[in-house]
Amino acid sequence: MLKAKESTRAVAVLVDPFRDFNPVPAKEEFASFCLVEFRRRNEAGGTTVVDPIAFYRAQEFARWWPVNIAELRLLQREIGEACGFEPGRITTIAADARTIARSPTQVAMPLIDRLLRRY
């Protein structure tokens, strides 16, 4: 995403088709968070904001939605501070929205999160 024209969007894909859709699956859980788009938008008053739009395979609202929003807000702030943007709207889209968790203490973490925790 650029501070000024050319590109008003940045996309981060968190799914690795070669790994996640392998016919011989790994013993890891498949993460629900698949993709996030950050969109630069100019508001009527002249303020430039950044809006994260996150796409989830499944999202459990009672326990994990607040965690997901907090993570998106952190990324939104980091991008905003680096580019001089204000925080805008946060949107989440889920193919399978759940209000009751099947496993209240387990979450499938993307590989990037697991690697960051190791180092």
Ramachandran sector of residue 46 (left: φ over 0; alpha: ψ -120 to 50; beta: rest): left
pLDDT in tens, 66-91: 888 999 999 999 999 999 999 999 99
What is the rounded CA–CA span in Å between residue 48 and residue 53? Answer: 16
Q: Is 46 helix (H, G, I), strand (E, B) or coil?
A: coil
**More confidently predicted of 41 and 99:** 41
Residue-by-residue DSSP string for 70-118: HHHHHHHHHHHHHHTPEE---EEEESSEESS-SSTT--PPPHHHHHHHH
Q: Which pTM was predicted?
A: 0.67
Can you give the residue ranges of every domain in the chain? 9-118
pLDDT bin (cut points 50, 70, 90) of residue 35 is: confident
pLDDT number for residue 11:
73
| Mean pLDDT over each residue of the chain, to the nearest integer | 77
Q: Which of 55, 61, 20, 49 is nearest to 37 (CA)?
A: 55
Are residues 85 and 49 in contact, defined by beta-carbon separation less than 8 angstroms?
yes
pLDDT band at 99 (very low <50, low <70, confident <90, very high): confident
Does the pLDDT of residue 51 top 90, yes or no? Answer: yes
3-state class percentages of the chain: helix first, strand second, coil last, to nearest 5:
25, 30, 45
Q: How many CB atoms lie within 10 A of CB 112?
A: 13
What pLDDT sits at residue 58? 81
